[in-house]
Amino acid sequence: MTTTQGTTQNLALEDDPLWYKDAVIYQLHVKAFCDGVQDGVGDFVGLTEKLSYLRELGITAIWLMPFYPSPMRDDGYDIADYVNIHPAYGTLKNFRTFVREAHRSGLRVITELVINHTSDQHPWFQDARSARPQSVRRNFYIWSDSDKVFPQTRVIFTDTESSNWAWDPLARAYYWHRFFTHQPDLNFSNPHVVRAVTRIMRFWLDMGVDGLRLDAIPYLCVREGTSNENLPETHAVIKQMRAVVDSHYRNRMFLAEANQWPEDVRDYFGEGDECHMAYHFPLMPRMYMAIAQEERHPIVDIMGQTPEIPEPCQWAIFLRNHDELTSRW
């Protein structure tokens, strides 16, 4: 392929089921990377043109932040259509071209599977609002007549949200949201939801995506009398999805975004049958702390609290991403 950056070598991907163990991953937001059609917004045309440049950086994989149709109230993590491309970034054809050329360049592609919640503009939620109570369509989300249910569950964004429940005037009921009011949580106790999400996962894997970052997975399932984090039911859903991947695809990877202590994140590896990778969130700020203090103790301390994981699995150690650079750990 001839691009503005020169000729992209046909390096072809190795047939390596453990490629993620020593991957060098570069995170980027399509809209902010390269404008290929000169309209002021980054797009897949521009990104494809820059693959040679990315390869020259020494990376082996590209992690794309959400690029789906969205109202953009949460930088694209509020998804309104799981199986399409935001029109500002291009088309599905542009995406297929990007994946094909990335692979020819020897680069793998990791995308976001944001399944804890949708945008309130997603057709599923709009259908649920008007559907009969207790129907399959209504139960794609979690509803209650009271906003006092699940009192043990913490509010994550206390600076903007006072409750995990929000009133919907059309449904005449409260809906559950662990993130923002405009991002209602899907109901993973409903098998129809699990099947729908699995179809979305397969859509992108069939497009050639090599890895899926599972956003906010500690909060997938809920149950009365719990904190609604890290529940056994959540692990059962992940195992079910992983089994589909293992049965139908080769050399694919799940990356857990579980912003928890290492002993809690350990469970998201399962026995090698859940996620292949998981972020080590507490390590990252301690690397900065160690540099500032000129002292290795912050790193040694957190590594001492880090449990062993199954041999095929890998901690994802990162210097920086869009989520986190705080000292709360």
Three-state DSSP class for residue 103? helix
- The tokens describing 293, both together, are 């203090």
Per-residue 3-state assignment (H helix, E strand, C coil) for the chain: CEECCEECCCCCCCCCCCHHHHCCEEEECHHHHCCCCCCCCCCHHHHHHCHHHHHHCCCCEEEECCCCCCCCCCCCCCCCCCCCCCCCCCCHHHHHHHHHHHHHCCCEEEEEECCCECCCCCHHHHHHHHCCCCCCCHHHECEECCCCCCCCCCCCCCCCCCCCEEEECCCCEEEECCCCCCCCEECCCCHHHHHHHHHHHHHHHHCCCCEEEECCHHHCCCCCCCCCCCCHHHHHHHHHHHHHHHHHCCCCEEEECCCCCHHHHHHHHCCCCCCCEEECCCHHHHHHHHHHHCCCHHHHHHHHCCCCCCCCCEEECCCCCCCCCCCCC
- The tokens describing 271, both together, are 């026995």
**How many Cβ atoms from other residues are within 10 Å of residue 56's Cβ?**
10
DSSP letter at 309? Answer: -
Cβ–Cβ under 8 Å, residues 188 and 237: yes
Residue with tokens 């020593």: 22
Residues recorded for the chain? 329
Instruction: Report the catalytic residues.
Output: 215, 257
